[in-house]
Amino acid sequence: MNSTAKFIILLGPPGAGKGTQAKILHQRFGMVHVASGDLFRENIAKQTPLGVLAKSFMDKGELVPDDVTVRMVMERIAKPDCARGVVFDGFPRTDAQAQALDAALARENKKIGAVLWVNVRDQELVARLSARWICSLDGAVYNLITNPPRVAGKCDLDDSSLVQRDDDKPAAVQRRLQVFNNQTKPLLEYYRAAGLVHEIQGEQPIDRVQADIVRVAEKL
């Protein structure tokens, strides 16, 4: 992929494979991966005030309020590495967040190049989330059924133990799917109006999804 700055949003429900795909884009092409959920989890691990606040919403499957979320992501994208472009994963999730992102990029004469709508049916999402395990150290994502680690319970990259996310328990999963449909899915219309949406068939093997994403990204 060429080196012009690309700002790409992976938009899709919880479990669609956004984090998996963004991490591969980072490994293969060095694209900077900005995942609001990962930023919150880092704050929770360090027990910062933001982490304590965020956890109270995340455990219930609710969205963290826009003001704190936007501030955290804006601080991240102000760092020099992001000038080369970013893959956004899990952000924006509301209209207010999308508008804040557009405004911040416009101030730097930049804009979103593409919104990749990763489409996966609800029953598949529930199955994926109930079998998702992540590395306790670096957040690498595995799946007990579709994408298992080489050694059971251990991260392939650093041998740390794998854990299940508190919000991947069934009650929170149902709420997160509702929240996605009510608050995040409407963003598709916002970005369709700007002509930015490309649909990616998310129910394919991980490498096929990656190939479809790269095909779109290469044209930007």
Which residues belong to the active site? 18, 93, 132, 165, 176
Please tell me the distance from the alpha carbon of residue 108 to that of residue 137, in angstroms, as a whole number. 34
Select the residue whose beta carbon is closest to ligand ADP and give its number: 37
Please tell me the distance from the alpha carbon of residue 45 to that of residue 154, in angstroms, as a whole number. 19
One residue of 98, 142, 155, 187 binding ligand ADP per CB under 6 A: 142
One residue of 16, 34, 100, 200 binding ligand ADP per CB under 6 A: 16
Beta carbon nearer to ligand ADP, 3 or 147: 147
Any idea of the CA torsion for 67, 68, 74, 75, to the nearest 10 degrees? 150
CB of 90 vs ligand ADP, minimal distance in Å? 3
One residue of 6, 8, 18, 155 binding ligand ADP per CB under 6 A: 18
Interface with ligand ADP includes 55 (CB under 6 A)?
no
Q: Which residues pair with 6 in a beta bridge?
A: 85
Q: Which residues pair with 10 in a beta bridge?
A: 89, 116
Beta carbon nearer to ligand ADP, 16 or 196: 16
Interface with ligand ADP includes 110 (CB under 6 A)?
no
Please tell me the distance from the alpha carbon of residue 45 to that of residue 218, in angstroms, as a whole number. 36
- Structure-token match 């199955």, residue found: 127
One residue of 85, 115, 176, 217 binding ligand ADP per CB under 6 A: 176
Interface with ligand ADP includes 210 (CB under 6 A)?
no
Beta carbon nearer to ligand ADP, 54 or 196: 54
One residue of 6, 24, 31, 40 binding ligand ADP per CB under 6 A: 40
189-96-122 Cα angle (round to 5): 50
CB of 141 vs ligand ADP, minimal distance in Å? 4
Q: Which pair of structure tokens corresponds to residue 178? A: 């509702």
Interface with ligand ADP includes 12 (CB under 6 A)?
yes
| Total residues binding ligand ADP (CB under 6 A) | 36
Interface residues toward ligand ADP, by CB under 6 A:
12, 14-20, 36-37, 40, 57-58, 61-64, 69, 90-91, 93, 97, 128, 131-132, 141-143, 146-147, 167, 176, 204-206, 209
